[in-house]
Every structure is written in structure tokens, then in C-alpha cells.
A and B are shown apart, each in its own frame.
Chain A
Amino acid sequence: MVEVRLEGVTKRFGRVTAVNNVNLTFGDGEFTALLGPSGSGKSTILYLVAGIYKPSKGRIYFGDRDVTDLMPNERNIGLVFQNYALYPHMTVYDNIAFPLKLRKTPPEVIRDKVLEVAKFLHIHELLDRYPAQLSGGQQQRVALARALVKEPEVLLLDEPLSNLDALLRIKIRSELKRIQKELGVTAIYVTHDQSEALAMADKVVVINRGVIQQEAPPDTIYNEPRNVFVASFIGSPPANIFPATMDYTEEPCINLPGGTRHCVEDEYAGVLWRMKPSKVIVGFRPEHAEIVENPVDGRPVIVGEVYTVEPLGRENIVTVASEDIHLKVITPPEVRPEAGELVYVAVEKGKLMLFDPQTEVNLRYIAREWSQGG
């Protein structure tokens, strides 16, 4: 179909900068998730691609075509809204047929296309109903049908599942992915639900306050967050993040809370020697640590007191207090330490993340950029 490219795009609303100097490429036929907290500028990016907003600065391209100054109807896009925005005074049939009618498509062609897309989405029995007579999931499909009937090159979805219940959401999520792959359409999917983004997307773009934080495949976003924001936004519960001082007497070592020390792996050593920060920000995922009774050699270990234990059935979330830092650890269900008990939190080898305290960027990325830059 077509690749969508944003080059230096900024969008201001009065004094608010909703999107700030964004450079992004949405791959041809790829499913990209735009992930970020509320108010981060996700919908604004989507509306910029749709042509509903004009960028204050920068250009937008569909393939080689500069679409920056084109109206939405000149862009061949399909858009699904969070609240579906079905026309309440039209039947399902008329809702789906509306874009085609506006294009002055012959009535027989409209009929065929509407029936085809309705069958495809299993809503062909609802065509005579009004939107008010449909369930949330059915409305969602009608909205999708209305977007797809135009055979768009780019499909834009603004939190299309957020009004559905959890079970339906998981069901439709895989269906949506299948449809997208089947049609080969370039899809941009806005969500603030990280599990949705990680499960569906070929590529995830994390955004905060209008600035792109990271743009990567889901497993990279999860395993190698580019900065503190991404690490603390992704995961449930998100990564444990805390500051720590450094000690460079023999090799770079981190003074962990509770009084232990951990001397870093080689991949970080080079950067640390060069930068020599007196402090770093340390992070690790709750699922990459375990509670142990005796410190094990080589692994980073933090000493603390059990604060709470939340049993979730399949696993427990244990919160450990060390100095004034609370760390969460996911443990197997049988590990149930008593509150107040003294324990060791051991982090899996290589799973400790270190961030530059100034820029909050993952040191691993800084190291990589250096080795690339020479």
C-alpha cells in the first residue's frame, strides 16, 4: 500500500505544543501502535496523518506524495474513532455506504461493496438497524466497516477497543490484526493500553508530552527501553527505578540500596569509565528478579524488608522496602514471605538497566551510539 512519513512535524494549539518535532515512519503494510499516557499527543498525531489538523511545522508524506496540504478526503484514509462516531440517524447500511455515496459511486457497486465488507466483518445481519440498537462490539465493527469500505491505503484507529469489555477486547484484538494483515493496509493504532500495543503491533512508538521516546519492535521496547520514561511506562507492574551512587576505585560499581555493591558487566563498563557519572539511575523489571534467602554470587542483590505480598493466583507481587525505596518482585505463588521478614532481591544476570542521570537515556544506547559514531 503506502508508507507514511512525518518529517519534523510540530503541532501547537495556542500555547500548548501537542506534538513536538516528530520524525516518524510508519512502514508500508505494517501495524504500528502509538502508545503513551493521556494527553501525550497520540490522537493529535493520528489527526495530523488524517488531515484533520494541519501541522504548525513540518511535512507529511504518503510514499512520495506530499499530503501536508491535502484535505482528509484527498488522502484515502480510513479512521475509526474511540467512540465510533456512527451517524445516529442512518442505518448500519447507510453508515457504511456514506463514504461511497459521497464519491458518487454507482448504487449497484455501493451495494456490492457494503455487503462484501459487512460479510467480512460478520455484521451483514445488522444492516437495517440503527446504531442505537447495536452492542458496543457491533458498533465497533460497523465503524471499522465504514473505514474499510473505502479501501483505504492507511487505516487509522484511535483507541478503538477502549469501550469494550476485557474479554471482547482480547477477541477483537486478534481479529483486527488478522484483518489488517489480510488487507495489507498500513495501520496506525493509538492506545494507552500497553498490552494491546505489545500484542498487536509490528512496531511500537512510545510518546510522552508530544515527544517520541522510543520507536522499536515490541520486544525491544520491553527488554531494552530507551529511557527511564519507557521503562517506567511499560510492564505491569512497570520496572523498578531508583537512583544509586557509583564507586570507581577498581572498576565501576554501583552502591545498591541496603548496602550491597554490584560491579557492572562489561557492556556498561566502557561507557561508565568514559562518562564517570557519580550517580546513575538503576532499573529492573519485577519479573526479572527473585526473592532469595542467601545472596548468590555474581548476581546484583538488594537487601530489604518485606513490605506487602499481593497474591494474584498465578503469581505473587512482593513489595520489598530497602532504605526508602520500594521494589516490586514477581514471585511464584508458593513464595510467600511474611511482612517484615528480611530478604534478598536478586536480579537476573544482565537484566539490570542503567540510565544516565542527566538525560535519563539507557547507557546501553549511549554505548551503542558511541561505538557506531567511532
Chain B
Amino acid sequence: MARRGRQALFFLLPMLILVVAFYILPLILTAWISFTPLTNWRVRDQLDDFVGLENYVNLYYLARYDPDFHKVLQTTLVFVTFTLFINVVGGLVLAILTYLIDERISLAYRLLWLLPRMTPLAVFGLLWYYFFYGGPQGTLNSFLLKLGVIDEPVRWGTDPAMLPYSAWAIIVFVNGLVGVSYGMIIFYSAFKNIPRELIIAARVDGARTWEVIRHILVPMVRWHIVFVTVWQLLSLITSYTHLFVLVQWSVVDKWYGTTLALYVFNTAFFDVKNQGFAAAAAVILVIIGSILGLVTLRIMRFSQMISPPRGDI
């Protein structure tokens, strides 16, 4: 056993070093900073100046009383839930469609869905900036004006009358468009690995297309569904780049377009540059992420899926 342990360590070591250098150490550093009053990167004076739990207490009061922060929390919840749903279920639906249609069309179709992911962030942001722009020159507005659906241009993401739902719809839509291709690619390649005979056998057994999907395709990729769900959950909790662009260019309302991750980023590097406070929020974010990740694995019964190996290799 000791020998196997050592062997395992040998193979895991390179990865462990990377994890320690780029994850554990920054985490410890963040946790450290969260107990200091660090602002404006005055590292020399403030990094060893402990204020105890002050940042956490502030965070608590903010969460309790600050209406803007409430919006951030709500937005986070809505954004993560709905975008996750689109990313997993939408990805699955797209993968099934592309799997069932003719290979050449399927390839073009998959490439099309990959475009948002391959487009540089700034270009992508600009696209939506023009699309949802509040003036009459905005793509959506000018289109709807021409069609006569609306009489006046609509400020899609910022008009208080439509908040918060319009802003939420936009951020979920834009992020879903980027994220859905990930699930699609993973699920599609998983489908491609299912032996053709299984599908034929199901057909011979009398399964219609819908029953093949339900009884063969989806159950056979359940592993991949768990993986994509957890992966997307964690990345949605922590990602902020697309939201940053949307908020910064005022495509959407500032608070109903900001999730906790973006809030941490803005607090640390952009608005007030209060790194100590941001670090405290980041630590909370990591804790939430870890718990949610574990809960998801639990709900999806991950442990039951790991079957014991058939040999003692």
C-alpha cells in the first residue's frame, strides 16, 4: 500500500505543484488579505495590519442592509440558475440534434454554435452593445421600429420599468450563448462514442427516436452530464468577464447585471479598490462554490457512478 501511495504521489506530483502554486497559495493569500484593511494596494503598510473579522462583519452588514448588494445576490442566484439550465439542457438538446442530423449539416451547425465562444470578448461585447443599444440606432430597436412593433426605442437592459427581468434576461441570454456550446461539444462526442449497434438494437426493439434519446442516448452520457453541470456551475459562480463588459458599457443595469464574482472584481480592482473587503467576499464565494459543487455531486449520485474496477490493475 505504501508503495502504491508513493507511485500515486509520483504521478500526481506535477499537477499537485501546479495546484499548490496557482490555487492553494493564492487562496491562502486571499484569506490572509481578507483579515487586513488593504486598500489601493498599499501592501507595505497594510499587509501585516490585522483587523480581525472587520471585513466579514462589513460584508454581513452589507448583505443585511444594502439594497444594491441585495440586487447583486439576487442577480447571482438568478444568473447562475438559469444560465446553468441553458448550458446543460440546451447543450444536451443541441448535441442530440446535431447527432441525429446528417453529418455535413451537423458540422456546420456545431461550428455556428461555437462562434460565440471563439469570438474575442471585446468584439462579442460590442456586438451586444449595438444589439441592445437604447437609442433608435440599436439593432434590436431599429428592427422592431421598422416592423412597427414598437413606436419608441426601448432601453432594453436599463429601463427601470422593465428591471430587473430585462437585465437578467440579457445576461442569461448572452452568457448562455457562449456557454451552451461547451455542453454541446462534450455531449456530442460522448454520443459519437456510443456503439452504433446499441442504437440499431434499440430500433429493432421498437424504440422511436424519442425513446432512443430517453432510454439510450441520455442515460449513456449521464457521467458527462454530471461533469458539465458541476463544471459549468463552478465557472458560472466565478466568471465575470462577459458581465463586466455588459455592465461597463451600460448594456444592462449596473446592479442587476452584477454577480458576486463581478462585485468582488470591481471592489478589488475597479471601483473602490478595497482589496481587504474584496478578499473577504472572495473567500465567501469559494466556500459557497465548494458547498454547491459537493451538493451537486451528491444530488447527481456521483459515487454510485464510479464502479469498482474489474481487475486489480
Contact = CB atoms under 8 A, between A and B. Distances in A.
A103 B204 CA distance: 12
B150 interface: no
B206 A52 contact: no
Contacts of B204: 50-52, 72-73, 77-79
A50 B195 CA distance: 18
B219 interface: yes
Interface string A16-58: 0000000000000000000000000000000100111000000
Contacts of A132: 307, 310
A307 interface: no
Contacts of B205: 73, 98-99, 102, 146, 150
B7 to A, nearest CB: 26
Contacts of B222: 89
Contacts of A72: 203-204, 206
Nearest to B200: A52
Q: Main SS of the interface on chain B?
A: helix
A240 interface: no
Contact of A79 (B201, B211, B307): B201
Contacts, number: 54
Interface residues of A, number: 23
B142 to A, nearest CB: 49
Given A73-B206, A102-B211, A83 B200 contact: no
Interface string B190-206: 00000101101111111
B199 to A, nearest CB: 9
B144 interface: no
B203 A52 contact: yes
Nearest to A133: B310
Given A71-B203, A73-B206, A150-B205, 12 more contacts: A52-B200, A52-B203, A73-B204, A73-B205, A79-B204, A81-B197, A85-B197, A87-B198, A88-B220, A98-B202, A102-B205, A102-B207
Interface of B: 195, 197-198, 200-207, 211, 215-216, 219-220, 222, 307, 310
Closest 5 CB pairs of A and B: A73-B206, A85-B197, A99-B205, A102-B206, A85-B201
Interface of A: 47, 50-52, 71-73, 77-79, 81, 83, 85, 87-89, 98-99, 102-103, 132, 146, 150
